[in-house]
Amino acid sequence: MMQFRQIEAFRCLMLAGTSVGAARKMNVTQPAISRLIADLESTLGFRLFNRSKGRLEPTIAGVRFYRSVEENFLGLERLAQVAANIRDETPEGISIACLPVLATSIVPVILREFFKYHPHVPVTVDSISGPEILVRLQDMKVDIAICLAFPSIAGIEVETIMKMNVMCAMPAGHRLAERDVVTPGDLDGENMIGWVPILSQGYKEELSTLVKADSHPRHVIKTHTSHTRYAMVANGLGVSIVEPFAAKIWRNNGVVVRPFESNISYQYVLAYPGGGIRSELMHDFREAVLKVSANYDFGFDEQSSEYQI
């Protein structure tokens, strides 16, 4: 049976690269490291390292095994940190995962509201992609996430907080900036900053809307992040169908945003690891999210955006 000490020795050896370094990390002798690794290999039934010219090189099997070890150790380290915080009476903290565009727009406003009642609570904000958010939630490595809606997934609970129609972004001075509303037909022949196929859930809807209107813009650039789309527009490289959160940020950088006539909308949700047991802090953070979502200033005419809370 595998022993924790053996796994610890293996991890230290992978991180240090030498048995001498691993021995220092564990405060044991070099022969003790070699013995622990040999015993682990015997238990596993495969070699973790090749020994050549006095050097240890991880085998392919060793690298595969290390990935799983590291995942489990991260969970153990988090438990150790929680225990240390309880022991030292450190305030409970919360960890949030969100899309990068939300981290630079609505999340700071939410935290400002939250800190009115919990000014000393440590908060970690992890701005990552949608698929990464789902993995963090399933692995229970974050307490809560703010992201785009996604299909039902076992082990994750969701709560809708906002639904927003997409907008059309263009450089200041562009001919479409004079329009109150931009239609799909208006984009015919325009240079356009679009989504990378497959990576974006909005790609198919966007393409379908343009096809139905017999509109054929030139997709000169494709990307999968909102801020990148806005940046390309700001530099005069084309127009783009965009989410609304970054509009206020890019308005001061030469980007004009107008309502886009379509049925394309984005639904934003709060997502939690499954289980249903949440602390008072999490309930208060949720209240801050709902309050800010109901009154958030997007920096454009909200009537024309037709958003729903």
184: helix, strand or coil: helix
The torsion of the CA quartet 254, 256, 257, 261, rounded to 10 degrees, works out to -140
pLDDT surpassing 80 at residue 88: no
Distance CA 257, CA 247 (A): 7
Question: Please, are residues 288 and 238 in contact by the beta-carbon 8 Å criterion?
Answer: no
- How far is Cα of residue 148 from the mean position of the Cα atoms in its chain? 10
Give 23-59 pLDDT, tens digit per residue.
Answer: 998 999 999 999 999 998 998 898 898 877 667 888 8
Residue 309 binned pLDDT confidence (cut-offs 50, 70, 90): very low
Domains 4-87 and 94-155+275-298 share a fold: no
Question: Please, are residues 258 and 171 in contact by the beta-carbon 8 Å criterion?
Answer: no
Q: Parse the chain into domains and list their residue ranges.
A: 4-87, 94-155+275-298, 167-263
- The whole-number average pLDDT for the span 194-220 is 81
- The whole-number average pLDDT for the span 273-301 is 83
Give, for 284, the enclosing helix (H) or strand (E): helix 280-295
Q: Which CATH architecture has domain 167-263?
A: 3-Layer(aba) Sandwich (3.40)
Q: What's the pLDDT at 198?
A: 54
Looking at the chain, the whole-number percentage of residues with pLDDT higher than 70 is 87
Distance CA 190, CA 218 (A): 6
First-residue to last-residue Cα distance in the chain: 54
Distance CA 163, CA 248 (A): 18
Give 181-205 pLDDT, tens digit per residue.
Answer: 999 999 999 999 988 765 555 677 8
Averaged confidence pLDDT in the chain: 85
CATH 3.40.50.1820 assigned to 4-87 = no
Distance CA 227, CA 299 (A): 16
pLDDT surpassing 60 at residue 150: yes
Q: What's the pLDDT at 1?
A: 79
Q: Which CATH architecture has domain 94-155+275-298?
A: 3-Layer(aba) Sandwich (3.40)
Rg (CA), the chain: 25
- Beta partners for 259? 167
